[in-house]
Amino acid sequence: MKLEPVQVLQLAWQGAEDKKALDPVILEMKNLTLVADYFFIVSGRTDLAVRAIADGIMEKLAPYIQPKGKEGYEEGRWILLDYGAVIVHVFLEQAREYYDLERLWADAPRVQLQENVPSAGENL
């Protein structure tokens, strides 16, 4: 079962929200890089929170897709989860401020998830 990028984003958002992630942002990267169509960026207050958020995202997506890559999990400062068209960045608050991907990719449009988009559990 192949998920559309918007469904990956929706499940990742839910998984992050379940673990009390801070300041979720989705950047549309389609016209800016070949790496991914979207970056999903969230943060946590502690390294334990960062790992819990990453775990929540992976748990939500696990029935449908596994990350192609996972970096930074042990340190818990910046965890990158590669879901192909969607790259998830889970930052420790201070690391997010330092790397400031939103400023680095300021040309990337911010995306709002629409309520009427079917979740991955529906219509698959």
Task: Match 């979740």 to its residue by tokens.
Answer: 119
Asked if residue 56 is part of any domain, the answer here is: yes
Asked if residue 22 is part of any domain, the answer here is: yes
Tens of pLDDT along 6-55? 999 999 999 999 999 999 999 999 999 999 999 999 999 999 999 999 99
pLDDT of residue 113: 78
Tens of pLDDT along 60-112? 999 999 999 999 999 999 999 999 999 999 999 999 999 999 999 999 999 98
- Token code pair at residue 113: 């998830």
Work out the angle at residue 5's Cα, subtended by the Cα atoms of residues 47 and 63, and round it to the nearest 5 degrees: 65
pLDDT of residue 117: 43
CATH code of 41's domain: 3.30.460.10
Determine the structural domain holding residue 93 and report its residue range. 5-104
Task: Match 């330092």 to its residue by tokens.
Answer: 98
Asked if residue 50 is part of any domain, the answer here is: yes
Q: d(Cα 101, Cα 64) in Å, to the nearest integer?
A: 28
Q: How confident is the model at residue 2 (pLDDT cuts 50, 70, 90)?
A: confident
Asked if residue 122 is part of any domain, the answer here is: no
Asked if residue 124 is part of any domain, the answer here is: no
Q: Count up the domains in the chain and report the number.
A: 1
Q: d(Cα 32, Cα 39) in Å, to the nearest integer?
A: 11
